[in-house]
């Protein structure tokens, strides 16, 4: 389950941030996870919540996850659309397969709230 190693990496980064900023604790962290990222959100949240207990500065940290939908732009008609399908989607407007992925692969920390 690679979600555990990703959660551990996030927690390590938050611990380093708290130390660098001389914070008492990390109150909240918000992350964006795209539907095409390969991350199972429930597993990631479970791993984060289990592992955060090992750190005084992180054990009460609230994790907020924003799931980012799969969004494409058609290169033929310029139509932008969202889909749940990860398998060869086509433009719902013109049927083209010439698509540009706009979002859905994200894994990023949006912000972290610290108590100093």
Binding residues: 2, 74, 77, 91, 94
Pick out the residues of the known binding site for Zn(2+). 74, 77, 91, 94
Query: What's the chain's Rg over C-alpha atoms?
Result: 18
d(CA 44, CA 95): 35
Q: Which residues participate in the annotated binding site for Ni(2+)?
A: 2
- 3-class DSSP state of 10: helix
Q: Which two tokens stand for residue 113?
A: 């709230």
- Burial of residue 43 (CB within 10 Å: 0-12, 13-18, 19+) is middle
């Amino acid at each position: 389950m690679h979600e555990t190693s990703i959660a551990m990496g996030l927690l390590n980064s938050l611990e380093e941030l708290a130390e660098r900023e001389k914070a008492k604790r990390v109150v909240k962290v918000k992350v964006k996870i795209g539907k095409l990222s390969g991350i199972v959100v429930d597993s990631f949240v479970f791993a984060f919540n289990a592992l955060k207990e090992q750190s005084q500065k992180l054990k009460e940290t609230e994790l907020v996850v924003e799931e980012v939908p799969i969004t494409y732009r058609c290169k033929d008609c310029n139509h932008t659309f969202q889909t749940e399908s990860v398998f060869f989607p086509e433009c719902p407007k013109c049927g083209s397969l010439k698509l540009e992925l706009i979002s859905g692969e994200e894994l990023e920390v949006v912000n972290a709230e610290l108590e100093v």
